[in-house]
Chains A and B, each alone.
Chain A
Amino acid sequence: MRFALPERLSLQKIIQLILAIVLVIIVLVSSSKTLDTGRFTGAQWRSLVVNGIALGSLYALIAMGYTLVYGILFIINFAHGEVFMAGGFTAFFLARTLNNAGFLNENPLVSLILLFAVGMLVSMLIAVTLERVAYRRLRGAPRLVPLITAVGASLFLQNTFRGLYGAQVRSYPEIEMLSGRVNILGADIPKVSLLTIVLAAVLMGALFTFITKTRTGRAMRAVGEDKEIASLMGIDVDRTIVNTFAIGGLLAGAAGVLWGLIFQVSFFMGFFPGIKAFTAAVLGGIGNVVGAGLGGLLLGVLESVAPNLLLIGWDVPSPNQLTDVIAFSVLVFVLIFKPGGILGSDEAEKV
Chain B
Amino acid sequence: MDRKSISLPRLAVKFGLIAGFAIIYCAAVGMTSRFFSRTVINEVLNLGDFLFIAFCLIAGYALGKPRALPGDAVPDRAQPTAVAYGAMAGAVAGLTAWLFLFIASNVELRSVLISVTTSLVERMSYGGSLGSALLFYVVGGAFLGALGAAPWLLEQRKRTALVVAFAMTVVISLSEPLLRPILTTVLLKVRLTTSWLYFGGGLSRVGAIIVFLASGLIYYFWKTRGEEVQSRFGDMPDQQRQIIKIGALVLLVAFLLYLPAILTSFLAEVLGTVGLYVILGLGLNIVIGYAGLLDLGYVAFLAVGSYSTALMLSTRHPWGLEWSYLLAVPITILIAIVIGIMIGAPVLRLRGDYLAIVTLGFGEIARIVVLSDWARPIFGGAQGILGIRAPELLGTTLREPEKLYYAIVICVLIVAFISVRLSKSRVGRAWNAMREDEQVAEAMGISIIGYKLLAFATGAAIGSISGIFFAIKLGSVFASSFNIIVSINVLALIILGGMGSIPGVIAGAFVLVGLPDLLREFADFRLLIYGAILVALMLFKPEGLIPSRRRKLELEAASEEEDTQYDKRAGEGGTEPVVTTT
A-side interface residues toward B, CB under 8 Å?
Answer: 1, 3-4, 75-76, 78, 93, 133-134, 136-149, 151-160, 162-166, 227-228, 231, 236-238, 271, 275, 278-279, 282, 311, 316-319, 321-322, 324-325, 328-329, 331-332, 335-336, 339, 348-351
Q: How far is the CA of A133 from the CA of B572 in the complex (A)?
A: 18
Q: How far is the CA of A348 from the CA of B361 in the complex (A)?
A: 20
Known interface pairs A139-B579, A164-B28; A328-B439 also in contact (CB < 8 Å) = no
Instruction: List the A residue with the shortest CB-CB distance to B569.
Output: A142
Q: Would A351 and B439 count as touching, CB distance under 8 A?
A: yes
Neighbour of B572 across the interface among A142, A151, A155, A350, CB < 8 A: A142
Neighbour of A325 across the interface among B29, B369, B530, CB < 8 A: B369
Q: How far is the CA of A319 from the CA of B105 in the complex (A)?
A: 51
Chain A to chain B contacts (Cβ below 8 Å), 18 pairs? A133-B535, A138-B538, A140-B578, A141-B542, A142-B566, A143-B351, A149-B535, A149-B538, A152-B538, A157-B531, A159-B527, A159-B531, A163-B528, A236-B581, A237-B581, A238-B581, A331-B357, A331-B358
Instruction: List the B residue with the shortest CB-CB distance to A147.
Output: B353
Known interface pairs A145-B572, A151-B534, A321-B372; A159-B294 also in contact (CB < 8 Å) = no
Neighbour of B374 across the interface among A78, A238, A318, CB < 8 A: A318
Q: Would A350 and B531 count as touching, CB distance under 8 A?
A: no
| Residues of A contacting B356 in the complex (Cβ-Cβ under 8 angstroms) | 76, 78, 147
Q: Would B530 and A165 count as touching, CB distance under 8 A?
A: no
Rounded to whole Å, the gap between the CB of A266 and the closest CB of chain B is: 13
| Residues of B contacting A157 in the complex (Cβ-Cβ under 8 angstroms) | 531
Residue with the greatest number of chain A CB neighbours at <10 A, chosen from B30, B360, B371, B569: B360
Known interface pairs A137-B539, A137-B577; A325-B531 also in contact (CB < 8 Å) = no
| Residues of B contacting A142 in the complex (Cβ-Cβ under 8 angstroms) | 566, 569-573
Instruction: List the A residue with the shortest CB-CB distance to B539.
Output: A137
Neighbour of A328 across the interface among B292, B365, B570, B581, CB < 8 A: B365
Segment of B112-120, B239-247, B464-472 engaged in the interface with chain A: B112-120
B279 within 8 A of A: no
B347 within 8 A of A: yes
Rounded to whole Å, the gap between the CB of A55 and the closest CB of chain B is: 18
Q: Would B535 and A152 count as touching, CB distance under 8 A?
A: yes
| Residues of B contacting A148 in the complex (Cβ-Cβ under 8 angstroms) | 294, 491, 495, 534, 538
Rank and list the top 7 A-B pairs by shortest CB-CB distance, nearest first. A152-B534, A163-B29, A156-B531, A140-B578, A155-B531, A328-B361, A159-B528
B225 within 8 A of A: no
Q: Would A154 and B351 count as touching, CB distance under 8 A?
A: no
Q: Give chain B's interface residue range (CB within 8 Å of chain A).
A: 35 or more
| Residues of A contacting B533 in the complex (Cβ-Cβ under 8 angstroms) | 152
Q: Would A275 and B535 count as touching, CB distance under 8 A?
A: no
Q: Would A324 and B365 count as touching, CB distance under 8 A?
A: yes
Neighbour of A336 across the interface among B30, B115, B346, B531, CB < 8 A: B346
Rounded to whole Å, the gap between the CB of A167 and the closest CB of chain B is: 9
Known interface pairs A155-B527, A158-B527; A348-B571 also in contact (CB < 8 Å) = no
Known interface pairs A152-B532, A350-B438, A351-B352; A160-B572 also in contact (CB < 8 Å) = no
Neighbour of B368 across the interface among A3, A275, A324, CB < 8 A: A324
Q: Would B28 and A350 count as touching, CB distance under 8 A?
A: no
| Residues of A contacting B574 in the complex (Cβ-Cβ under 8 angstroms) | 140-141
0 or 1 for each of B270-294: is its CB under 8 Å from A? (1 = yes): 0000000000000000001000101
B442 within 8 A of A: yes
Q: Would A164 and B352 count as touching, CB distance under 8 A?
A: no
Rounded to whole Å, the gap between the CB of A118 and the closest CB of chain B is: 12
Instruction: List the B residue with the shortest CB-CB distance to A93.
Output: B112
| Residues of A contacting B292 in the complex (Cβ-Cβ under 8 angstroms) | 144
Q: Would B31 and A163 count as touching, CB distance under 8 A?
A: yes
Q: Would B353 and A335 count as touching, CB distance under 8 A?
A: no
Chain B residues 542-571 with CB under 8 Å of chain A are 542, 566, 569-571
B258 within 8 A of A: no
Instruction: List the A residue with the shortest CB-CB distance to B376.
Output: A317
Q: Would A155 and B294 count as touching, CB distance under 8 A?
A: no
Q: How far is the CA of A21 from the CA of B360 in the complex (A)?
A: 27
Q: How far is the CA of A253 from the CA of B445 in the complex (A)?
A: 49
B73 within 8 A of A: no
Known interface pairs A163-B30, A163-B115; A332-B353 also in contact (CB < 8 Å) = no
Q: How far is the CA of A261 from the CA of B449 in the complex (A)?
A: 46
Q: Would B360 and A275 count as touching, CB distance under 8 A?
A: yes
Q: A153-B531, A351-B352 are in contact. List 14 more A-B contacts (CB 8 A).
A: A136-B577, A140-B574, A149-B534, A155-B531, A157-B531, A163-B30, A163-B115, A164-B28, A164-B29, A275-B357, A321-B374, A328-B358, A332-B358, A349-B350
| Residues of A contacting B577 in the complex (Cβ-Cβ under 8 angstroms) | 136-140
Known interface pairs A144-B571, A331-B357; A152-B531 also in contact (CB < 8 Å) = yes
| Residues of A contacting B530 in the complex (Cβ-Cβ under 8 angstroms) | 152, 155
Rounded to whole Å, the gap between the CB of A305 and the closest CB of chain B is: 18
Instruction: List the B residue with the shortest CB-CB distance to A136.
Output: B577
Chain B residues 364-421 with CB under 8 Å of chain A are 364-365, 368-369, 371-374, 376
Rounded to whole Å, the gap between the CB of A204 and the closest CB of chain B is: 23
| Residues of A contacting B573 in the complex (Cβ-Cβ under 8 angstroms) | 138, 141-142, 145
Q: Would A335 and B360 count as touching, CB distance under 8 A?
A: no
Q: How far is the CA of A279 from the CA of B25 in the complex (A)?
A: 33
Known interface pairs A137-B577, A147-B356; A166-B114 also in contact (CB < 8 Å) = yes
| Residues of A contacting B166 in the complex (Cβ-Cβ under 8 angstroms) | none
Q: How far is the CA of A132 from the CA of B492 in the complex (A)?
A: 22
Rounded to whole Å, the gap between the CB of B14 and the closest CB of chain A is: 14
| Residues of B contacting A237 in the complex (Cβ-Cβ under 8 angstroms) | 579, 581
Residue with the greatest number of chain B CB neighbours at <10 A, chosen from A144, A158, A311: A144
Chain B residues 1-55 with CB under 8 Å of chain A are 25, 28-31
Rounded to whole Å, the gap between the CB of B328 and the closest CB of chain A is: 27
Q: Would B346 and A335 count as touching, CB distance under 8 A?
A: yes
| Residues of B contacting A332 in the complex (Cβ-Cβ under 8 angstroms) | 346-347, 358, 361-362
Q: How far is the CA of A227 from the CA of B438 in the complex (A)?
A: 24
Q: Would B374 and A322 count as touching, CB distance under 8 A?
A: yes
Rounded to whole Å, the gap between the CB of B62 and the closest CB of chain A is: 16
Instruction: List the B residue with the shortest CB-CB distance to A149.
Output: B538
B100 within 8 A of A: no
Q: How far is the CA of A282 from the CA of B528 in the complex (A)?
A: 29
Q: Would A317 and B357 count as touching, CB distance under 8 A?
A: no
Rounded to whole Å, the gap between the CB of B294 and the closest CB of chain A is: 6
Q: How far is the CA of A316 from the CA of B347 in the complex (A)?
A: 28
Rounded to whole Å, the gap between the CB of A162 and the closest CB of chain B is: 8
0 or 1 for each of B499-528: is its CB under 8 Å from A? (1 = yes): 000000000000000000000000001011
| Residues of B contacting A324 in the complex (Cβ-Cβ under 8 angstroms) | 364-365, 368
Rounded to whole Å, the gap between the CB of A44 and the closest CB of chain B is: 21
Neighbour of B488 across the interface among A141, A151, A322, CB < 8 A: A151
Chain B residues 464-505 with CB under 8 Å of chain A are 484, 488, 491-492, 495
Q: Would B294 and A349 count as touching, CB distance under 8 A?
A: no
Instruction: List the A residue with the shortest CB-CB distance to B582.
Output: A231
Q: Would A156 and B532 count as touching, CB distance under 8 A?
A: yes
